[in-house]
Amino acid sequence: MINELSVQELQVWANQQTIFLIDVREPAEYATGHIKGSNLMPLSQLNNYRNQIPHDLPIVVVCRSGQRSSMAAQWLESNGWSNIYNTRGGMLAWNKAGLPEER
């Protein structure tokens, strides 16, 4: 079972502890706005990034709405990663909450 974080919890985590944040949207989506410190690794190419994803940090995954990030989190778990968190509501929830993003 994959754990979930609210966008508010993610903001606190990103400021208080070391996490590895993966944004699985496509590059054009990422360019419109993303969370500071996130690593662009599109779901369609996630396997290509497997050597860049650490095993010793909590992994948080985000997308537009939470659907693709949930699929990415399941893929990570099935390929040996643990301590994985899906961001509930994705960037839609992040934006709705008025949280900061970079462009």
Q: Point out the catalytic residue in the list 63, 84, 91, 93.
A: 63
- The DSSP secondary structure of 13-30, one letter per residue, reads HHHHS--EEEE-S-HHHH
Of 32, 24, 8, which Cα lies nearest the Cα of 61?
24
User: Is 49 marked active-site?
Assistant: no
- Which residues belong to the active site? 63
